[in-house]
Amino acid sequence: MPVKKILSEDVEIGMVVSSLDRPWSETPFLFQGFQVRDTSEIEELKKQAEYVYILVPDEEIVMSRDSYTSSQPTSYSGIIGQEHYPITDDAEEELRIARHSHDEISHLVMEIENILRSDQELEMEKIEDSIEFMVDSIIRNPDAYIWLTQIQQYDSYTYRQSLSASVWATATGRELGFPREKLHTLATGTLLMDVGNTALPVELLQKKSRLSHDEWLLIKSHVEKGVQILSTTPGISPDVIDIVWTHHERLDGSGYPGGLRGSQIPIMGQIAGMVNFYVAVTIPRPHLEAISPSQALQMLYNQQGRQFDKALVEKFIQALSTYPSGSLVELSTGEIGVVMSQNKGLRLRPNVILLLNPDKEPYGSYPIINLAQEAYDKDGNPLNIVKTLANGKYGLNVEELSL
């Protein structure tokens, strides 16, 4: 259902709040959209968010994008721009190379919770070997790992969130020109940033109603618990621990656990927080629908200079491209498809796998259309992507498709 952005102070009883200007996991509301029933909920919303997004019956969210100018956060210029990574493999070739290593790291991510909940020790050498393959693949062509992460089926939201955040963070670091060893650190830190959740009760993490004050404090303690776990893990880098410690800090001091501001937050912690925000609102969960990539990026863009550094937001948007690989899109023909890969220098003209015809009926097979080569539809009208769609729209879940 379409949504509308309004100030939290303008929320009224009866409105259905679908999302906030920050992930539910950063508020006592946890992962639950809800209908506002009394003034106490309005007051809590005003404390937690500047803006909220409400469900509306008569609006469409249409994808639009201004061109972004590139800038650099001056406090971090020491590691930005050290490398330039050209695309060296096309997406199809990289998919063939990356598929095995992606399966391995996906399986590893699924094992981490079981390892920690059974009081076993993480094998950092095994984790780092898998991450090395991932980083190398993303350096050659980010589309392959992004695509594979989108279509992979996971046993839980947590597993998918961890790997998705790691992939997006690495792609952002690549865009920023981080040296290879920093990309490895960033990938490791974002993969492990929520390991502290393994020290929390499962029923609390799965709770679908609003958290009490004490429950919210316990949820926030996952940061300290994660740092404690990793501090006793042999072979862990201090920079990885810094990422875990700061991934919920925010530029304006509104984050936790330390209320750090600005350059007090290391750049990799800022990137981790930014991608965590994006992943949290775009991955569907059983009790909460995802929002579209364009809506998520607009939310992120609205927070630049407040919760997130402007230059980092711009680089993240560039890393995602206008239409991220794995995102559902609607074409000007009315057809629905999923973006498979990008065409260099043509952010608005990716390669799209068509799923539904203009009548929203499934195609018998999955034709691929290269928008860089096909500018017009069969009637001679301009052929374009008109908007992105939330995963789950029209009953389409990308990870459940047999592509």
Domain containing 43 equals 3-55
More confident residue, 191 or 45: 191
Same domain, 268 and 215: yes
Q: CA-CA distances (angstroms) from residue 107 to 98, 128, 155, 276?
A: 14, 14, 10, 21
Pairing of strands 16-20, 51-55: antiparallel
User: 185 in a domain, yes or no?
Assistant: yes
Task: Provide Rg for the chain, Cα atoms.
Answer: 21
Residue owning tokens 């499934």: 362
Q: What is the pLDDT of residue 327?
A: 87
Q: Which residues contact 137 (CB under 8 A, 6 or more apart)?
A: 94, 97, 98, 101, 102, 144, 145
Here the tokens at position 203 are 């029923």
Same domain, 148 and 18: no
pLDDT at 265 over 90: yes
Provide the whole-model pTM. Answer: 0.77
What count of Cα atoms within 13 Å lies in the side-chain half-sphere of residue 37? 3
Same domain, 84 and 174: yes
User: 288 in a domain, yes or no?
Assistant: yes
Same domain, 230 and 363: no
* Residue that finishes a domain, picked among 273, 290, 320: 320
User: 282 in a domain, yes or no?
Assistant: yes
Helices 213-220 and 222-231, packing angle to 10 deg: 30
User: 381 in a domain, yes or no?
Assistant: yes
Q: Where are the beta strands (DSSP E) in 299-360?
A: 328-331, 336-343, 346-356
Q: What is the pLDDT of residue 304?
A: 87
User: 68 in a domain, yes or no?
Assistant: no
Here the tokens at position 125 are 């050498």
* Nearest to 312, CA basis, from 176, 168, 174: 176
Residue 343 phi/psi, 5-degree rounding, is -110, 125
Pairing of strands 328-331, 336-343: antiparallel
Q: Which residues contact 301 (CB under 8 A, 6 or more apart)?
A: 313, 317
- Are the C-beta atoms of 21 and 40 separated by less than 8 Å? no
How many domains does the chain divide into? 3
Bridge partners for 285 per DSSP: 288
Cβ neighbours around 238 below 10 Å, total:
9
Q: What is the pLDDT of residue 56?
A: 60
Q: What is the pLDDT of residue 123?
A: 87
Q: What is the mean pLDDT of the chain?
A: 84
In this prediction, residue 58 has a pLDDT band, given cuts at 50, 70 and 90, of: very low
* Nearest to 198, CA basis, from 107, 108, 113: 113
Here the tokens at position 164 are 């998705």
Residue owning tokens 């992962």: 31
User: 253 in a domain, yes or no?
Assistant: yes
9-35 pLDDT, tens digit each: 888 877 778 778 776 667 776 545 666
3-state secondary structure of 235: coil
User: 60 in a domain, yes or no?
Assistant: no
Same domain, 166 and 287: yes
What CATH number corresponds to the domain at position 156?
A: 1.10.3210.10
Residue type, 8: S
Residue 3 phi/psi, 5-degree rounding, is -125, 160
- DSSP secondary structure of 172-236: HHHHHT--HHHHHHHHHHHHSTTGGGGGS-HHHHT--SPPPHHHHHHHHTHHHHHHHHHHTSTT-
Same domain, 79 and 107: yes
Residue type, 343: N
CA–CA separation, 302 and 292 (whole Å): 15
Count the residues in the chain.
403
Same domain, 45 and 176: no
CA–CA separation, 219 and 336 (whole Å): 38
Same domain, 158 and 267: yes
Same domain, 130 and 256: yes
Pairing of strands 328-331, 3-7: unpaired
Bridge partners for 352 per DSSP: 339, 369
Residue type, 159: Y
User: 92 in a domain, yes or no?
Assistant: yes
Same domain, 163 and 299: yes
Same domain, 332 and 316: no
29-43 pLDDT, tens digit each: 654 566 677 788 888
Largest CA distance in the chain: 64
192-234 pLDDT, tens digit each: 999 999 898 888 887 777 788 899 899 999 999 999 999 999 9
For the ranges 118-132, 241-255, 261-275, which has the lowest average pLDDT? 118-132
Mean pLDDT of 112-135: 89
Same domain, 20 and 105: no
